[in-house]
Amino acid sequence: SLKSVFLGVGSNLGVRRETLRAAVEKLREDPAVRVGRISSVYATKPVGVAEQPDFLNLVVEIATTHSPLELLAVTQRIEHALGRVRQERWGARTIDLDVLWYEGTRSEDATLTLPHPRAKERSFVLTPWAEIAPELKLDGETVSARAKQVGAGGVVRVSAWERDSGAP
């Protein structure tokens, strides 16, 4: 059955906007994935390792028949196809696809923790997420309420997705 899922997408190396677009296109190419709402694009300062370029981030809603672990494999294949090299934790990356929330699923699994364990603290996830799914419940509170608590410090809306993507 189709499940609703939210993914966080970020890039801070190379042509970041093109990389975000390519990641969304690769999701669209998967027959088991339907791409839904896509947030605006936001620029954010890097977390952890400061000596790296700013990130561009967005959140995308999909509907999928993939299981959570199948979807994780899909996101990792997309990262690999777009040149992601996992070197330093928190380091610069061409693309990062995170499964933030998967309908009806809570998991403490080491491979995939759901909802994403750090999503609730990250303004660069919460700000775009609240734009497209403000009423979604995340551990008992809405994404929009959580986004207000965390604040949008350092997260700047760059542009609407449609205007960037060349989509009609």
Q: Which of 21, 84, 122, 146 is catalytic?
A: 84
Sign of CA dihedral 128, 93, 87, 45: negative
Judged by DSSP in three states, 1 sits in coil
Backbone angles phi, psi at 80, to 5 degrees: -65, -45
Identify the band that residue 77 occupies on the pLDDT scale cut at 50, 70 and 90: very high
Mean pLDDT estimate for the chain: 88
Torsion angle of C-alpha atoms 119, 5, 27, 37, degrees rounded to 10: -90
Buried b (16+ CB within 10 A) or exposed e, 100-119: bbbeeeeeeeeebebbbeeb
Q: Which of 17, 30, 54, 98 is catalytic?
A: 98
Residue 96 known to be catalytic: yes
Residue 98 known to be catalytic: yes
Interval 63-68 mean pLDDT: 98
pTM value?
0.89
Task: Average the pLDDT over each of 62-66, 93-97, 99-103 and give the range with the smallest value.
Answer: 93-97
Rounded to 10°, the helix 143-150/123-132 angle is 140
Torsion angle of C-alpha atoms 38, 43, 44, 46, degrees rounded to 10: 100
Q: Which of 96, 122, 146, 164 is catalytic?
A: 96
Residue 85 clears pLDDT 70, i.e. is over it = no
Token couple for 53: 């370029």
Residue 168 clears pLDDT 50, i.e. is over it = no
Interval 1-22 mean pLDDT: 91
Greater pLDDT, 90 or 31: 31
So what's the pLDDT on residue 87?
52
Q: Which of 21, 93, 122, 146 is catalytic?
A: 93
